[in-house]
Amino acid sequence: MTEKRLNKFISESGFCSRREADKLIEQNRVTINGQRPELGTKVQPGDSVEVDGKRIRASAADKTDRIYIAYNKPIGITCTTERDVEGNIIDAIGHKKRIFPIGRLDKPSEGLIFLTSDGDIVNKILRAENAHDKEYVVTVDKPVSERFIERMSRGVPILGTVTKPCTVKVVSKFVFKIILTQGLNRQIRRMCEFLGYEVTALKRTRIMNVSVDGLRPGQWRDLTAAEMAELNAAVAGSSKTAAEGHVRPAKRIKPGSEQRDGQAKPRSGNPRRPGGMGEGRGVLDRPQGKNPQGQKPQGNSGKAKRPADKPTKAVYVNPNAPSSKNKGQDKPAKKKTGGNTLTLKRKG
């Protein structure tokens, strides 16, 4: 055995996935030769690796000891390896070796899901940029319209991003088929909800070249040699992690910028208002004057245009000072005297 990163060594042994192995290392549950390692530590030939005191054996180089199964998950089963969760997928299958699911299906959803003891293949299948097909048959609460199909296939804004274009076809009045290459959280349900539909049934029928056909809900089988050959060929060029500079960050949608049909509101084309010149802001910094019609400017709309080559300097104006137009009228009126009021006059 050549040296390997610790998380890879653990995942290849079939104990768990690489992501879960990283969590175990962070929780100080892993030791190498009795010492607690850091993330990224490499295992050397002859090292003793333990998780919670249990020895982890190195996997066979030819992967003959790996498990790959296809399972038709029924509604109500939760895709978790936590055995204390009622209805967890591990207890539902009851496999004699330690396995874990590749991806997940929501508890109210059903259909095909892979389980394996090979942590090395998990990220290759799951990473969105590897673009591996997953096919679903979906039933909704309203008749499927042409506009709905067009919007779903073009992409829908959910979870702060826009879903990738996908293939969507009508199956019947309330049923459609969709093929995704993404795996966002509750993606299909959120997409339908955004367009005003509610999912009443969801079934995954295919992952890449493997179909759920022939498996009743709750049944599982080992992947065939032919299926594994196609699967390995499909992921041969897949990256386990995102290649640097290869994946662009998801386009963010500003809150409130979505219209009803999911399209971002078009910009007006007008230049942005300079800071301090908006309504209720920068009153003391505005240049005062009259426009060509002799009216006082109001905000930006009434401001007279100035030549671009003659910048004007903003002048401070006290808003409480009397204007020249009303000079003499802003003085407080003298109080009238009368009655028995005594008025004293100073001798000149």
Q: Which of 95, 76, 101, 114 is nearest to 16 (CA)?
A: 101
Domain boundaries, the chain: 4-55, 66-131+208-223+232-239, 133-207
Considering the candidates 106, 118, 261, 285, report the single residue annotated as catalytic: 106
Q: Which fold has domain 66-131+208-223+232-239?
A: Alpha-Beta Plaits (3.30.70)
Q: What is the mean pLDDT of the chain?
A: 76
Instruction: Identify the pLDDT of residue 264.
Output: 46
Prediction pTM value: 0.59
Domains 66-131+208-223+232-239 and 133-207 share a fold: yes
Question: Which CA distances in Å does 329 have to 148, 290, 294, 336, 337?
Answer: 67, 21, 21, 17, 21
Residue 322's pLDDT band (boundaries 50, 70, 90)? low
Question: What's the 3-state SS for 235-289?
Answer: CCCCCCCCCCCCCCCCCCCCCCCECCCCCECCCCCCCCCCCCCCCCCCHHHCCCC
**Is 118 noted as a catalytic residue in this protein?**
no
Q: Which fold has domain 4-55?
A: 3.10.290
Residue 62's pLDDT band (boundaries 50, 70, 90)? low
pLDDT over 90 percentage in the chain? 40
| Secondary-structure class of domain 133-207 per CATH | alpha beta
Q: Which of 199, 207, 187, 184 is nearest to 113 (CA)?
A: 207
pLDDT at position 267 over 70? no
Q: Evaluate whether 276 touches 247 at the Cβ level (below 8 Å).
A: no
Stretch 61-83: mean pLDDT: 87
Instruction: Identify the pLDDT of residue 16.
Output: 79
